[in-house]
Amino acid sequence: MADIIKTATRDAYGKALVELGDKMEKLVVFDADLAAATKTGMFKKAHPDKFIDCGIAEGNMMGVAAGMASAGYTVFASSFAMFAAGRAFEQVRNTICYPHLNVKIGATHAGISVGEDGASHQCCEDIALMRSIPGMTILNPADDVEARLAVLAAAEMNGPVYMRFGRLAVPRVFDENYKFEIGKGVYLTEGTDVTIVATGLMVERALVAAEQLKAEGISAAVINMATIKPLDKEILLDAANKTGCIVTAEEHNIIGGLGSAVAEALAETKPVPVLRVGVEDVFGKSGPALELLDIFGLNAANIVAKAKAAIALK
């Protein structure tokens, strides 16, 4: 791991948009009256002629984004995850994904770590919703380095992308030499006893868990799965063959997210025990983000416990 630098992935999103605006002529950024929070305000300041505030009308924003994309533009449409994936689901499905348009959805404030905003805004169902749409690519970066690379990669590919960013400043996992590729998982540590497949802010916590397991004589591999769809089934099969059991870790409902995707993939190719660390099919609650992560078991201690349980099932 690199030196501990804490940055919210939403900040990296805003900076990456400015970077893209400097070099892409047919790029536009939309926001649903949340530019200060989503960090698209950085882009608005740098490129006001390429920015449109669509107001508190997320469904309409997605429809306008589809129209611009059909005219040859690369469009980034931004709002909180609860509104981008939840409120605007029908427009994302029918106007963006069905015609496979070049719209990139920047969904910030995802997960329990939204904190004091409470259950109404703590979207832990967005990955499940977006996974269900044919042709949608889903990116969930672990830190600011990966978030920047994910935004740049999304801009280069053709078709709809759902990008998930957080409000909470999280430790940096990667350095400037890190290579990001859509659709590829990455081994961060090698191991022989259990594999931890993590995404988003849970990647850093998975690495901490792996160190704790190592101190107890347990060898844990850690895979960063920043692309949840399309899922890297090849690396999962390799991990299942090497360690024989999997633990997934995500800041999302255990139903429909990374854990479900991994279990589904392995059930078809290499059935092994798969235990899930995530939100246990409940709504969130208001409180300090770091305290909530512990309350809902989104921590290294729970990953360690699940890893031991998974090993026992082999």
Question: Which domains does the chain show, CATH number per domain?
Answer: 6-171 (3.40.50.970), 186-312 (3.40.50.920)
Residue 37 pLDDT exceeds 90: yes
**What element of type H or E holds 120?**
none
Residue 314 CA to residue 312 CA, distance in Å, equals: 6
80 CB-contact burial (10 Å; exposed 0-12 / middle 13-18 / buried 19+):
buried
Residue 189 CA to residue 115 CA, distance in Å, equals: 30
Mean pLDDT computed over 115-139:
97
pLDDT tens sequence across 153-177: 999 999 999 999 999 999 999 998 9
pLDDT tens sequence across 285-298: 999 999 999 999 99
Residue 1 pLDDT exceeds 80: no
In the prediction, which pLDDT does 215 show? Answer: 98
- Peptide bond before residue 230 is cis, with ω within 30 degrees of 0: yes
Residue 235 pLDDT exceeds 70: yes
Structural contact between residues 243 and 313, judged by C-beta atoms closer than 8 angstroms: no
Coil, strand, or helix at residue 210? helix
280 catalytic? Reply is no
Tokens representing residue 229 in the block: 């769809």
Q: Give the count of beta carbons closer than 10 Å to the beta carbon of residue 177.
A: 7
Q: Where are the beta strands (DSSP E) in 128-272?
A: 137-139, 161-164, 170-171, 186-189, 194-198, 220-224, 227-229, 246-253
Residue 148 pLDDT exceeds 50: yes
pLDDT tens sequence across 56-104: 999 999 999 999 999 999 999 999 999 999 999 999 999 999 999 999 9
pLDDT tens sequence across 293-312: 999 999 999 999 999 999 99
- Residue of higher predicted confidence among 27 and 2: 27
Work out the percent of the chain whose per-residue pLDDT is above 90.
Answer: 98
Which contacts qualify for 26-29: CB closer than 8 Å, 24 or more apart? 26/72, 26/73, 26/74, 27/73, 27/74, 27/75, 27/76, 27/155, 28/52, 28/68, 28/73, 28/74, 28/75, 28/76, 29/75, 29/76, 29/77, 29/78
* Angle of the 144-156 helix axis to the 9-23 helix axis, nearest 10: 40
Instruction: Tell me which residue has tokens 């611009």.
Output: 68
Residue 2 pLDDT exceeds 70: no
Catalytic residue (one of 19, 25, 58, 156): 58
The reported pTM is 0.96
Mean pLDDT computed over 231-258:
98
Q: Give the count of beta carbons closer than 10 Å to the beta carbon of residue 165.
A: 30
Residue 244 CA to residue 172 CA, distance in Å, equals: 29
Residue 149 CA to residue 140 CA, distance in Å, equals: 11
In the prediction, which pLDDT does 3 show? Answer: 61
Q: Phi and psi dihedrals of 172, rounded to 5?
A: -75, 130
pLDDT tens sequence across 168-213: 999 999 998 999 999 999 999 999 999 999 999 999 999 999 999 9
Q: How confident is the model at residue 4 (pLDDT cuts 50, 70, 90)?
A: confident
